[in-house]
Structure 1
Amino acid sequence: MALHNWWLFVVAVFLLSATPGPNMLHVLSRSVELGYRRSVAAMAGCLTALLCLLAASVAGLSTLLHAMPGLFTILRYAGAAYLLYLGYRAWRAPVEVAAAVEGTHGLSAPHVPARTVFRTGFTISISNPKAILFAAAFLPQFIDAGRPQLPQFAILVATFAVIEGLWYNIYALGGRSIAASLTRAPVKRLFNRLTGTVFAGFGLALLANR
């Protein structure tokens, strides 16, 4: 893989990762709800799912999708349904006691097991059809077929993980800043409903795309 191809990949992934999507919104909302430190499990879940998809790309994900064109449609509907479910859950989330991050006005974040936080992040990420397309169609474009492919995949996947993780942390830190403003129930309710609306919007957009 030529150096200029790697730089093109870096720029493309940096811009793609920066764009708000289900993963970034989930990390942001988890940071608001649980605090930055505990949102790390959500980041880990999202990133682990993406790395699984990239590993599947190495194993021939694009070939599988071409051989079974209906599979992507099934995944698209499943991903959209899950995003709509998250939107409904965020819209209906209770706000009697405001959630806060560590060190904010003495309030404590609700107890959610780390494995649950990880699992939700993983499910959101693994069911995102755009992430599947990224792994199956976008990543292979930067592979030089005339050179050993496995080292190239390793470099690209490692590069992706670093950039994606960087943006997760940026969004999570933003969530920690937002949390200080959400100590009153009406403001918290508004945030929950905005978050729910955006999640539902992502789900409807997936259903509308062909």
Structure 2
Amino acid sequence: MTLQTWWLYAFAVFLLSGTPGPNMLHVMTRSVELGFRRSLAAMAGCMLAIALVLAASAAGLTALLKAIPGAFEVLRYLGVAYLVYLGIKSWRADVSPEDPAGADMARRNSPMALFRGGFTIAISNPKLLLFAAAFFPQFIDPAQPKAPQFAILVGTFTVIEMFWYCTYALAGGTLSAHLRRPSVKRLFNRVTGSIFVGFGAALLTSRAA
């Protein structure tokens, strides 16, 4: 892989990762609700899922799933169901002030719970596997060892994706100052809930290549 090829890849990933999607929306909503520092656990969950999916794609898992009839359809429906669940949950979220010391709230917003939430939303998108299978090979030089090149591509993707997570989380932290009023917070929850459902609908109508 030449330096020019890497720059082209990095620029493409920068633009693609910056486009709002379920992961970015999830990180931003966590930051709105809990603040930037608490949202780091959600970011870590998303990043681990993405790294695992990209590594699995590089190892040939995408080709294996394509060879299994209906595998991507099952994954797609699971992803749709989870996105719709998040949308309904956001739409119906309680906007009344909560006791930050409450045991139930502490359990739901523990670092592990936030990590699991980020991991689940990122791993539930089967299109990530297809993206890796279609996108990565364009930047691989077949005349050179593939493993180091995949490592560079995955590492670059991770750094850029994390940059955008932090950007969205910081925006969410700033936005939270304007969401003190329950009526405004309810509107925000319903808008983000509708967007999650919209992502689910888009995934439902898409077709694996």
Task: Report if TM-score (shorter chain) is over 0.5.
Answer: yes
Contact 2:31 2:38 in 1 (8 A): yes
Which has the larger displacement, 54-63 or 115-124? 54-63
Q: Which runs of 4+ in 1 moved over 6 A?
A: none
Matches within 5 A, 1:118-129: 118-129=115-126
Partner SS state of residue 70, structure 2? helix
Q: TM-score w.r.t. structure 1 length?
A: 0.92
Shift of 1:136: 2.3
Matches within 5 A, 1:162-173: 162-173=159-170
Tell me whether 1:38 sits opposite 2:41 in the alignment.
no
Partner of 2:56: 56
Partner of 2:191: 194
Runs of 5+ consecutive residues of structure 2 not aligned to the other structure: none
Matches within 5 A, 1:122-137: 122-137=119-134
Partner of 1:106: none
**Cα distance, 1:177–1:98 mapped onto 2, change above 3 Å:** farther
**Cα distance, 1:99–1:28 mapped onto 2, change above 3 Å:** farther
Residue-by-residue CA offset, 1:99-122 (whole Å, 9 max, x unaligned):
99xxxxxxxxx5311100000100
Q: TM-score w.r.t. structure 2 length?
A: 0.92
Runs of 5+ consecutive residues of structure 1 not aligned to the other structure: 101-109
Tell me whether 1:72 sits opposite 2:62 in the alignment.
no
In 2: Cα distance, 1:62 partner to 1:132 partner: 6
Shift of 1:128: 1.0
Contact 2:66 2:72 in 1 (8 A): no
Partner of 1:47: 47
In 1: Cα distance, 2:91 partner to 2:35 partner: 20
Shift of 1:137: 2.1
Shift of 1:196: 0.3
In 1: Cα distance, 2:197 partner to 2:5 partner: 36
In 1: Cα distance, 2:88 partner to 2:73 partner: 23
Q: 2:110 aligns with which of 105, 108, 113?
A: 113
Partner SS state of residue 97, structure 2? coil
In 1: Cα distance, 2:138 partner to 2:160 partner: 18
Aligned-partner residue type, residue 123 of structure 1 = T
Which has the larger displacement, 22-31 or 59-68? 59-68
Partner of 2:88: 88
Shift of 1:26: 0.2
Shift of 1:69: 4.2
Aligned-partner residue type, residue 52 of structure 1 = L
Number of residue pairs matched?
201
Q: 1:203 aligns with which of 187, 192, 200?
A: 200
In 1: Cα distance, 2:59 partner to 2:143 partner: 18
RMSD between aligned residues = 1.5
Tell me whether 1:9 sits opposite 2:9 in the alignment.
yes
Partner of 1:144: 141
**Cα distance, 1:125–1:8 mapped onto 2, change above 3 Å:** same
Shift of 1:129: 2.2
Partner of 1:160: 157
Residue-by-residue CA offset, 1:43-86 (whole Å, 9 max, x unaligned):
00001100000110121023213312421111111101100000
Shift of 1:208: 1.1
